[in-house]
Structure 1
Amino acid sequence: MSSHDEYSSDEEDDDLIGNNDTSEVYLGFVDAPIIDDEEDPEDNELPTIEDTFIGSKPIWLHPKSQPEESAITCDNCHKKMALLLQAFAPMDGKLYDRVIYIFGCKNSSQCSRTKGSVKAIRGISRDPERVAEIKSEQDSAIQKALDEKLKLEDQRKFNIEVTKDLFTKTNTNSSNPFGESSTSNPFAAASNPFAKKEEPKKEEPKKEEPIKESYAKIASKNAPKPQKKKISTISNDDLPAYNGSFVYVDLEKFKKEGLDPELEKYKHLIEKSEKGEESDSEEGPSNGGRGASKRRESSSGASIEASSVLDDRYFAAFTDKVKHNPGQVLRYNLGGRPLLYSGKDDIAKRFIGTFNIPKPGFNPGSERQFELQLMPKAIMDLEQIDETNANIADILNGMSWGTIIVGTDVEDFIPEENFDEHHVAYIEEWCGVQWEESV
């Protein structure tokens, strides 16, 4: 049984529509812009492999190691796609670097809503030097935590040693705890906490039960030693690009009360929806400035009832949750559940109830889990649309997704034959796009 099956239906709904008050989700917010000025390189602000950012050009795990050309090519127009997100996403306990890339086709007018116009790639680097460096960092962190624990334990023992005899009655004929009995004297040599103490004997570590090997490990052992993968010749100069911005990550926090000021200007939509009126507003919601305007405008510019914005409880919950952190461009919750933009499309059906994300074909004995999603606020930052001055043409001619959801292999497996001579491998992962509704 999948761990996702353990949720009750009520719990699933709470997670998917955001009714819980607490969160284990990490949010990404746009920080400083990426600067790549060839004329004045001293002012450059360029990302490294350990940064998370939107737009710009990808940073590969090795300068000469890139994914297959098909992985960054649109399946519809067959043009190279642009980087939407690069997320540095190491896994606890793993001794390698790991990155998630999301690419999208810039030919929105032709390729929007088409399969294969948005793709996700997972990359791994097992460079021996880097592995040794990560191991050293982890060992140092473990040793530091152990030292802190021993320090606290020694302090606890010290406190017990100092106070254990202070209020103990050793003479049945006397109630004075500070009597002459040497056994009750807390400052006697025998109970002197500063006296030299024998080192406690170290306990022998318990033998751990052998862990059942996964399909991926067994398969990799049984497979013949593969030839090293040929290095791809993709050049970043050949890739289109959006404006780039660094992303900083913080734990999701909720506002206690009050409506977000950015949502006040959309209050009339709810009122008109209740009256059954129509709206021709071209304004967008604070979840990225895109959703409500698209749902109110068809590709021909015809207005539709504002109630269509509100008749989907998942979309309503999406908007309600995002209003607490309207600047979010990324949600990360490995093994958790995505925040659905709609409850009506085929992508929603994969998450409502039992998870139904396609299993990884490269590791058929495994399954996929939700890892991260790109949020619509990223569109405004990638296309540098000024929300206060944007017109409907700018919005309709741009990207038209509500959220991009990425599911990755729970075993984080990549076949050995995918690794090249630089110990780097890339694999396509499942990517589900919830598009804006069209009329």
Structure 2
Amino acid sequence: MSSSSHHHDEYSSDDEEIYDSSSKSKVFLGFVDGPITPEDQPTIEDTFIGSQPVWLHPDSKPQEMLLVCDHCGRKLALLAQAYAPLPDKFYDRVLYLFGCKSAQCSTKKGSVKAIRGINKSRETVDRIKGELAASQLDEKLKLDPELTKNLFTSGGGGSGGGSKNPFGGGNPFASSGSNPFHVEKKEEEKPAEAKNEKSGNKSYAEIAASSPSKSKSNSKPAKKLDGALPEFAGQFVYVEPEKFRKDKTADAELEKYKHLIEKSNQDDNDNDNDNDEHGASSSRRGSQSSAVLDPQTTKISNMLDDKFFESFSSITKHNPGQVLRYDLGGKPLLYNGKDDVAKRFLAHPANIPRPAYNPSSERRFEFQLMPKAIMDLEELDHDGVDIKDILNGMSWGTIIVCTDLKDYIPDDHFDDNGVGYIQEWCGVQWEESV
């Protein structure tokens, strides 16, 4: 999973000293792992942001209505594709997240869409069952050295039962809290040190790391949306369990603005002393003095009033390179606590729309795209970026995807290749709503 290129923004992911081992998180974080290139294209078993989607079968695409913006009618661009098989299911499962590239469609309903795809073809089911059998055999070999001797000639058993086997962690379907994403791009590219992973329970990562089947098909091309979709810059993503830093300086970014906000408060107090004596509280939101400071400060000030944004910032600062967070059945990290999306998750129980195609079921949180993804998708973190590009770019704080608890897709949605797609619920917390 880790290689010499796998470093987070400000520190090496191998530097265990700066992590707090007592802080346990069941969240998996995705980090950018190098660009998608003509020579290095993703497969169905990769997780990545940007580029073109990889469908579950070359001739099986979703319906056109799922891939166009409901506001302007243009084709959507892929924001993220996540290989996310479930631990107890014998089929391939992929989540796609799309967004409209038109700035005019920002904040508009239907400009961001999530799609869940499943491939339950006979070949896929047989392959996954074979992988499960292989992992169980490997577990037996580990437990019984005599069996290993009988099965392998000398020299053959070392790599067969050891770290090269992508299913070396035992039954890859045993744990529901395991890593749902693809971790390595290519087995042969893996440097030697990547074999000694410190990240503990990676049973699910190991399934995802198995090399995808390269089956060729002669069936007719799909009569769906023609041509490629518009696209953002493509980047492979690798995944690690969330770890928290020991230091307490994670809020350094917010610290920069504290003096401005304190000054703003002081001005408010000076101006409003008469009111304060009569019991009225001074609000920095409505104060003229903070508006005199540049508008950005007012915005930061408003954000600081929101404990959800403070929490979002402080948790993200532990791993500033994260482009996505995966926590099946967990809770999303809210960008603010005020908008309609926040209200849904803050209700008890959470008020996530039920799947119309499976009304007896309900939806659960699965993953969210993080603001760092904007920098990578729009390539805003390199030299020579025009400020206009940043101002005209995407303006969301986070995109939250929730999926059907029963992972159901109606039978009539599946094609002859055993592939079916369904639209899932996603909630966008836009910058403007803060």
Report the TM-score range of the alignment, normalised by the length of the smaller protein. 0.5 to 0.7
Measure, in 2, the Cα distance between the counterparts of 1:106 and 1:94. 35
Equivalent position to 1:29, from 28, 31, 39: 31
Displacement, 1:246? 0.2
* Counterpart in the other structure of 1:100: 95
Identity of aligned pairs, percent?
Answer: 54
CA distance in 2, matches of 1:376, 1:116: 20
Alignment of 1:226-375 (within 5 A): 232-234=222-224, 237-260=227-250, 264=252, 266-276=254-264, 304=298, 306-352=300-346, 353-375=348-370
Instruction: Supply the AA of the counterpart residue of 1:25.
Output: V
SS of 1:351's equivalent in the other structure is helix
Greater displacement, 79-88 / 302-311: 302-311
Gap runs ≥5 in structure 2: 1-21, 147-219, 267-289
Aligned to 2:131: 137
> Matched residue of 2:128: which SS?
helix
Cα pair 1:313 1:343 within 8 Å, conserved: yes
Closer/same/farther in 2, CA of residues 132 and 85 from structure 1, 3 Å limit? same
Question: In the alignment, is residue 397 of structure 1 matched against residue 385 of structure 2?
Answer: no
Deviations 1:166-202 (A, max 9, x none): xxxxxxxxxxxxxxxxxxxxxxxxxxxxxxxxxxxxx
Displacement, 1:388?
6.9
Query: 2:432 aligns to what SS in structure 1?
Result: coil
2:422 match: 427
Superposed CA offset, 1:228-267 (max 9, x none): xx9843457331000100000000010011424xx64652
* Amino acid in the other structure paired with 2:237: V
Q: Is the 8 A contact 2:257 2:297 kept in 1?
A: no
Equivalent AA in structure 1 for residue 31 of structure 2:
F
Post-superposition CA distance 1:400-434 (Å, at most 9, x none): 10000000001111000000011100000001000
TM-score between the two structures when normalised by the length of structure 1: 0.67
Computing the radius of gyration from Cα coordinates, the structure with the larger value is: 1
- Find the residue that maps to 1:355 and give its secondary structure: coil
| The 10-residue stretch of structure 1 (384-393 or 332-341) with the greater mean CA deviation from structure 2 | 384-393
Match of 2:108 in 1: 114
Counterpart Cα distance in 2 of 1:327 and 1:268: 20
Segments of structure 1 that go 5 or more residues without pairing to the other structure are: 1-19, 37-43, 153-229, 279-295
Structure 1 residue 22 displacement after superposition: 2.1
Letter in 1 for 2:328: L
Q: Which amino acid aligns with 2:333?
A: L
How many Å apart are 1:438 and its aligned residue?
A: 5.4
RMSD over equivalenced CA pairs, Å? 2.6
What is the TM-score when the length of structure 2 is the normalising length? 0.68
Query: How far does the alpha carbon of each residue in 1:299-321 deviate from its partner, in whole angstroms, 9 at most, with x for none?
Result: x9776353112010000000000
1:126 alignment partner in structure 2: 120
SS in 1 for 2:114: strand
Counterpart-to-counterpart distance in 2, 1:255 and 1:99: 31
Classify 1:390/1:21 alpha carbon distance in 2 versus 1 (closer, same or farther; 3 Å).
farther
> Quick one: distance in 2 between partners of 1:268 and 1:139?
55
Q: Aligned AA for 1:314?
A: F
Whether the aligned pair in 1 keeps the contact of 2:260 and 2:297 (CA below 8 Å) is: no
Contact kept, 8 Å, 1:404 with 1:433, in 2: the verdict is: yes
How far apart are 1:141 and its partner, in Å?
A: 1.3
The structure-2 alpha-carbon separation of the partners of 1:236 and 1:301, relative to structure 1 and needing over 3 Å to count, comes to farther
Instruction: Tell me which residue corresponds to 1:411.
Output: 406
Indicate the SS of the match to 2:238: strand
Following the alignment from structure 1 to structure 2, what is the Cα–Cα distance between the partners of residues 432 and 272? 32
Structure 1 Cα separation of the partners of residues 77 and 312 of structure 2:
26
Residue 437 of structure 1: how far off its partner (Å) = 2.4
State the AA in 1 paired with 2:376: D
Displacement of 1:386: 2.5
Q: Is the 8 A contact 1:315 1:343 kept in 2?
A: yes
Question: 1:48 and 2:50 equivalent?
Answer: no
